[in-house]
């Protein structure tokens, strides 16, 4: 990543800010801190380098959806488009949101940056494990590219396959130890780009309560996960998160990056993505306009274990 691409990012961002009247351009500064640049000077601080580790799509979703709503006379509020700098993995998450119509293509100005991997701050200068062999280095959706495309590798499922080969007792020993270490701080859920529900059934009290919500609805809403932090509740917390990511998770690894306990959560999402490919031959965010996997029903699906 020569500073050539930084120049291109800033130039494109300023042009878009002027011509398209962007609310702001979301990117990283030189230290890798997410920045919301809304003036030319702020855009000059944007950069893309080895420490640009955050997936910025959750911020984009927040910036756009917080503009939605109705004006006083009942018409839809006009959404000011927002610019964003995306790497390959971010762009796949963004494409998933576009396919799910959470964000409209016209609301987003996308500056794509082909990426050769970013550095894991805990690993003394080495790349993240997910970046060593990455099959999505080049952005899949963009308005402009900041530098030329780079060579992508074959998707590497070796770690997942290693676990699949384990015996069931070994697998449980591995996951029980991991689940016992989880403190349910919700960082994995809050940083996930495709996890955008306002009201999540895994939040401690999950009712999106309004003034007129009836007492029964509040009283009899099931608590899917208790607040106690122990192996059974953590097991259900993580097992409950996964079905909501079927055919949606792009395995960007943000959940593993943000986990303060450094749990290998990407093993779960990579396994999920691998199964989706094997069983349904489906890949999340493969092309624009793709229908969600779970929303499609198919007679030809294999019956698998069903008696």
Partner 1 sequence: MMSAKNDYLPQMAEITSITQETTGERAVKTFRIAFKDKSAKMDWKAGQTCMVSVFGKGESMFAISSSPTKGHIEFSVQRMGRVTERLHQMQVGDELGIRGPYGNGFPVEQWKGKNIYFIAGGVGMAPVRAVMNYVVDQKEDYGELHLLYGARSSRDLSYKAEIDALEQGGAIDVRRTIDVAEPGWLQIDNANPDSTKFDPSTRKFTGFVATIVTAMKCNPENALAVICGPPIMIKTCIGSLAKLGWKDEQIYTTLENKMKCGIGKCGRCNIGGVYVCVDGPVFTYAQVKKMLPDQ
Partner 2 sequence: MSKSILKKDKVAEALSALGKVSVVYAPVKNKRGLVEYKELGKDASTADVRLDGKPDTPPKAILFPQTELLLTYKKEDGEFVVTPAKPDDREKVIFGVKPCDAIGISLMDKVFLGGKFTDSYYKARREKVTIFTIACDGPLDSYCFCPSTGGRPAATDGSDVMMYDVGDSYFVDGITDKGKKALEALKGQLGKPTAEQEKRKEEIVKRSESAEGFTRKISDEAIAKMDTSFDSKYWDDVARRCLSCGACTYYCPTCHCFDINDEKGGERVRTWDSCQFAIFTMHTSGHNPRAIRGQKLRNRYYHKFKYSKDNIGRYLCVGCGRCIALCPASLDITKAINEVK
Partner 3 sequence: MSGSQAAGKGAEAIPCAEGEQFEPKIVAFLCNWCSYAGADLAGVSRLQYPTNIRIVRVMCSGRISPMLVLRALKDGADGVLVSGCHPGDCHYLKGNLYTRRNLQLLRSMIEFMGIEPDRFQMSWVSASEGGKFADVVKTTVEKVRKLGPNKKFTTEKREGGE
Which residues within the stretch 224-243 sit at the binding site for partner 1 (CB under 8 A)?
none
216 forms part of the interface with partner 1 (CB under 8 A): yes
Task: Tell me which of partner 1, partner 3, partner 2, none is bound by residue 58, counting a contact when its beta carbon lies within the kind-specific cut-off of 5 to 8 angstroms.
Answer: partner 2
295: contact with partner 1 by CB under 8 A: no
> Nearest approach, Cβ of 206 to partner 2 (angstroms)?
8
31 belongs to the binding site for partner 2 (CB under 8 A): yes
Based on the shown chain and the rule CB under 8 A, indicate whether residue 218 belongs to the binding site for partner 1: yes
Quick one: which segment of 84-92, 156-164, 198-206, 283-291 binds partner 2 (CB under 8 A)? 198-206
Stretch near partner 2 under the rule CB under 8 A, chosen from 111-119, 125-133, 184-192, 280-288: 184-192
- For partner 2, the closer CB: 6 or 120: 120
209 binds partner 2 (CB under 8 A): yes
d(CA 85, CA 54): 11
List Cα–Cα distances, 51 to 106, 157, 260, 269, in angstroms.
Answer: 29, 25, 18, 23
Greatest Cα-to-Cα distance within the chain, rounded to the nearest angstrom:
64
181 binds partner 2 (CB under 8 A): yes
Burial (Cβ within 10 Å: 0-12, 13-18, ≥19) of residue 77: exposed
Phi, psi dihedrals of residue 130, rounded to the nearest 5°: -65, -20
Scan residues 248-277 and list those touching partner 1 (CB under 8 A): none
Nearest to residue 287, comparing CAs of 61, 95, 84, 94? 95
State the pairing for strand pair 34-37/25-29. Answer: antiparallel
The residue written with tokens 């794509």 in the block is 112
SS3 (DSSP) at 109: strand
Selection from partner 2, partner 3, partner 1, none that 23 binds (CB < 5 to 8 A by kind) is none
In the set 76, 122, 300, 305, which binds partner 2 (CB under 8 A)? 122
Shortest Cβ 63–partner 2 spacing (Å) = 8
Q: Does 257 bind partner 2 (CB under 8 A)?
A: yes
Q: Is 154 in the site for partner 1 (CB under 8 A)?
A: no
Neighbours of 54 (CB within 10 A): 20
Q: Which CB atom, from 71 or from 214, has the smaller least distance to partner 1? A: 214
Instruction: Please tell me the distance from the alpha carbon of residue 278 to that of residue 166, in angstroms, as a whole number.
Output: 19
Instruction: Name the burial class of residue 219, with classes exposed (0-12), middle (13-18) and buried (19+) by CB atoms within 10 angstroms of its CB.
Output: exposed
CA 149 from centre of chain: 22
Choice from 71, 214, 297, 303 touching partner 1 (CB under 8 A): 214
Q: What is the DSSP letter of 70?
A: B
The CA angle 83-85-88, to the nearest 5 degrees, is 135
Q: Could you give phi then psi for residue 37, rounded to 5 degrees? A: -90, 120
Q: Which does 214 bind (CB under 5 to 8 A by kind): partner 2, partner 3, partner 1, none?
A: partner 1
Q: Give the interface with partner 1 as residue ranges (CB under 8 A).
A: 214-216, 218-220
Tell me which residues touch partner 2 (CB under 8 A).
31-34, 36, 54, 58-59, 122, 177, 181, 183-187, 189-191, 203-206, 209-211, 213, 218, 226-230, 257-258, 260-263
């Amino acid at each position: 990543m020569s500073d050539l691409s930084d120049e291109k990012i800033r130039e494109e961002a300023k042009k878009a800010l002027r011509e398209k009247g962007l609310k702001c351009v979301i990117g990283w500064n030189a230290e890798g801190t997410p920045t919301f640049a809304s003036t030319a000077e702020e855009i000059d601080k944007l950069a893309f380098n080895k420490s640009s580790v955050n997936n910025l799509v959750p911020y984009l979703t927040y910036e756009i959806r917080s503009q939605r709503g109705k004006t006083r006379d009942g018409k839809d509020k006009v959404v000011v488009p927002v610019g964003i700098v995306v790497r390959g993995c971010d762009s796949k998450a963004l494409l998933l949101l576009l396919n799910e119509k959470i964000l409209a293509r016209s609301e987003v100005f996308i500056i794509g940056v082909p990426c050769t991997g970013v550095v894991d701050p805990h690993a003394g200068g080495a790349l993240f494990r997910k970046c060593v062999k990455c099959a999505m280095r080049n952005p899949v959706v963009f308005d402009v590219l900041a530098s030329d495309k780079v060579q992508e590798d074959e998707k590497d499922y070796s770690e997942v396959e290693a676990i699949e080969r384990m015996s069931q007792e070994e697998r449980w020993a591995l996951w029980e130890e991991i689940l016992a270490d989880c403190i349910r701080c919700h960082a994995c859920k809050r940083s996930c780009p495709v996890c955008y529900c306002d009201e999540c059934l895994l939040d401690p009290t999950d009712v999106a309560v309004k003034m007129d919500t009836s007492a029964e609805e509040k009283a009899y809403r099931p608590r899917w996960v208790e607040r106690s932090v122990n192996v059974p509740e953590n097991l259900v917390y993580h097992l409950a998160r996964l079905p909501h990511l079927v055919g949606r998770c792009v395995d960007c690894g943000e959940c593993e990056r943000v986990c303060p306990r450094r749990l290998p959560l990407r093993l779960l999402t990579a396994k999920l993505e691998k199964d989706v490919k094997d069983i349904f031959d489906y890949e999340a965010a493969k092309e624009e306009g793709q229908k969600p996997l779970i929303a499609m029903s198919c007679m030809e699906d294999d019956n698998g274990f069903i008696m």
